[in-house]
Amino acid sequence: MRTKRKFDRNAAEEICDRMAEGESLVSICQDDHLPSMGTVFQWLQQKELAEFRELYVQAVHCCAHSLAHKALETVDRLSGDDAQTARARFDGLMSIAAKLAPTSYSERMMVEHTGDVGGPMVAVQINLEAPDHSDPELVEHSSETDGETT
């Protein structure tokens, strides 16, 4: 088992480059000259490595595109008796692509609720029942309103 390593920019760039080409992090981290997955995840959590985190997110998105491309190549290459195998491989690759880049490849529609101009939603409680006249505060308020309208 490899020990945790300090951040290495060259290793981080190689990891992201290979991921962007569609290689999995599991496969990449099996190379002896690269850190373990645990180390990569530790790097991703460090606040001072925000640049690496951004590069990693971009690499994951590119990986999704690479997997989708591989899925299409598989379908194009295999036909006839291999159609069932091609379909299974296509579905698997597209499933992974959808998990990595859901906005691009997910079959599920994502609905986001926001308030005005994308701000937070504001909850408003509306009471449709008749006012309770046994509450002194409501009675006082309604009598003031009644006096103004008459």
The tens digit of pLDDT for each residue in 74-92 reads 777 766 667 777 777 778 8
Enumerate residues 6+ apart whose C-beta is below 8 A from 103. 110
From the list 27, 29, 24, 95, the residue with the least C-alpha distance to 63 is: 24
Does residue 59 or residue 88 have the better pLDDT? 59
What pLDDT sits at residue 150? Answer: 45
pTM for the model = 0.56
**CATH number belonging to domain 9-111:** 1.10.10.60
Query: pLDDT for 36-46, tens place per residue?
Result: 999 999 999 99
Helical segments of the chain, H only: 9-20, 25-28, 37-45, 50-77, 83-100, 102-105, 136-149
Enumerate residues 6+ apart whose C-beta is below 8 A from 95. none
Residue 33 pLDDT > 60:
yes
Token readout for 137 is 């505060």
What phi and psi values does residue 86 have, to the nearest 5 degrees? -60, -45
Percent of the chain with pLDDT over 70: 65
> Would you give the distance in Å from CA 134 to the centre of its chain?
52
Distances 134 to 127, 130, 138 between C-alpha atoms, Å: 16, 12, 8
How does DSSP classify residue 100? H
- The mean pLDDT value for 89-111 works out to 73
What pLDDT sits at residue 23? Answer: 92
Average per-residue pLDDT for the chain: 77
Does residue 54 or residue 64 have the better pLDDT? 54
What pLDDT sits at residue 132? Answer: 59
The domain ranges of the chain are 9-111
Token readout for 59 is 């690499």
Task: Dump the DSSP string for 68-95.
Answer: HHHHHHHHHH--GGGHHHHHHHHHHHHH
Q: How far is residue 122's CA from residue 47's CA, in Å, rounded to a whole number?
A: 32
Q: Is the dihedral of CA 60, 62, 63, 65 positive or negative?
A: positive
Residue 98 pLDDT > 90:
no
What pLDDT sits at residue 29? Answer: 94
Residue for token pair 């997955």 = 37
Query: pLDDT for 118-127, tens place per residue?
Result: 667 666 666 6
Residue 63 pLDDT > 70:
yes
Does residue 82 or residue 138 have the better pLDDT? 82
